[in-house]
Chains A and B, each alone.
Chain A
Amino acid sequence: MFQLADFSVSFGTATALRRATLDIRQGDRLGIVGESGSGKTMLALALMGMAPDAAKIGGRLTIDGQDMTHASERTWQQMRARRVAMIFQEPMSALNPLRRIGDTMMEPLIVHEGLSRAQAQARVLALFEEVGIPDPAARLRMFPHELSGGQRQRVLIALALACNPALLIADEPTTALDANVALRITDLLVRLARERGMALVFITHDLAAVARTTKDIVVMYGGDMIERGPTAQVLAAPAHPYTQGLLAARPDPTVPPRDATGKRRRLPTLPGTVPPLAALPQGCRFSGRCSVELPQCAGTRPTDHAVDPDRSAACHLLGAAP
């Protein structure tokens, strides 16, 4: 359905997204994982046709076989909502505080599908029921501030589902939520994707959430897709040194903070921080912070190497191995 081929987004000399290649099919649940500045949000915006105007775009994006790379805003308006919808990180700021929930919810149905107010309202009530909002009729008359964070995120999910999108992009949907609310939201997203046969792109830096939610995973660093494969396999045995470092740096609650002699256990770390886009190394984006350094790392970009038939990672180490 959605196809990115060698898709790049750059601003002057800074490349926010480099030669991204991605195939999203019906029913896929794909996790995009990376730290700030890795290009994951730029990828989401590109899939929605919302890359900033100042950006230079290269490569190709096709949706249902239609080339959308340089599509006009008009064409995108047709595409959005009907084929692809997005939910954002901040459930506080994504809803207009001056409008009642019901009015916000009915707008896309009236604009995109030409429903009457009564028809739209019936659809909204059904959607609220589907995403588990209690007492939906009363919620319609409420303002955003009268709902809790979790309820607001459910409203946004219902809003995104209003026109039956084929793909739902969730950009850090659980980051601003409490742990137990986040669990319920990820469960909801998985259930909706299954029941509707909808594809889900789940963008996050939370490795625990991505493990619960997705079937496949793409790890990003410095605008590059550096590792991809089935979520369970990548998280169990990561191939790229960055993915390994990221997983190791995540504290493990089952390991006590002191060893048997009372000495503290230090957490494994990745040295340094993600450099700004314009200052990324020429060769492998991760060189300089990587635990392994081959002679070609600093100067040459690594290409994707197969780890298994359905897994690959962009690292010179894998190319060197027989």
Chain B
Amino acid sequence: MTAPLLDARNLTRRYRLPRTSLLHPAPVLTAVDNTSFTISAGETLGVVGESGSGKSTIARMVMAFETPDAGEVLFQGQNLHALSPYELRLQRQKFQMVFQDPFGSLDPRRTVGWSIAEPMRAIGADGDTARRTAEALEQVGLPARDADKYPHEFSGGQRQRIAIARAIVTRPALLVADEAVSALDVSVQAQILNLLMDLQDDLGLGILFISHDLAVVASICDQILVMQHGKPLESGPAAQVLRSPAHAYTQTLLKAAGVST
């Protein structure tokens, strides 16, 4: 077996909370506690949990927006948090992110083409941005001429397609999707999930898929990691976790997703 695309080892992240008293040290919240997981190329890991369970903190550490207090993130064998800022910037083209809110994540005053090409400019590779932008738009099922339009001309589902186009324009190996379909209507949600699966098959992407909705995670993920209060509760192949959930909390999530256990 080849080395995994992403290998997160014993990640821990603590936040210092506001002081409650002058006489005591500030309380510390452990947002993520000793959590490990791996993602191989072409594979999807789903991270489920309620708000405050540490899902988004995991995404931010994998994206190297934040440094873990302990543990390391190995991407293609390289420790992301040990890279110099310049090296990290060059590496960023290989891992990209899709955010929850398709309305807030695109600059309303810039054309869609400008926004999609932004990661290209960030890595200094703006030679053939026009061609690459057109290619990315077509990969997400939008016509290339849409590059000249503005975000307000698109529906929520189309905007999320644009956000995905921006994430794949640098031809990344890993995609981090944080609640990427949560703000969408059910019928549009299924379209975007299918798009993610198609892109994964075409490009061999590894996907870190974060969601509070177990039904959505179950429909596209190979592996599942259930988080609660910053701690990994259970993990394993999706089919196994769903068929025989070991924890009462996972059963609750299944019940909320409409499955009686």
Contacts and interface: CB of A to CB of B under 8 A. Distances in A.
Q: Tell me, yes or no, whether A binds B.
A: yes
Interface of A: 35-36, 178-183, 205, 207-208, 211, 245-246, 249-258, 264-270, 273-274
Interface SS of B by simple majority: helix
Nearest to B214: A253
Contacts of B220: 257
A178 B51 CA distance: 7
Given A250-B186, A269-B191, A183 B216 contact: no
Contact of A254 (B50, B187, B193, B259): B259
A265 B221 CA distance: 11
A180 B252 contact: yes
Interface size bracket, B side: 35 or more
26 contacts: A35-B185, A35-B186, A178-B50, A179-B50, A179-B213, A179-B253, A179-B256, A180-B252, A180-B256, A181-B50, A183-B252, A251-B190, A252-B218, A252-B219, A253-B218, A253-B242, A253-B254, A253-B258, A256-B218, A264-B201, A267-B193, A269-B191, A269-B194, A273-B155, A273-B157, A273-B187
Interface SS of A by simple majority: loop
B197 A249 contact: no
A254 B242 contact: yes
A273 B185 CA distance: 9
A183 B255 contact: yes
B242 to A, nearest CB: 6
A211, A249, A251, A252: residue with the most chain B Cβ atoms closer than 10 Å: A251
Contacts of B213: 179
B207 to A, nearest CB: 12
Nearest to B193: A267
Given A178-B51, A179-B212, A183-B255, A249 B201 contact: no
A251 B193 CA distance: 10
Contact of B258 (A180, A207, A264, A270): A207
A178 B186 contact: no
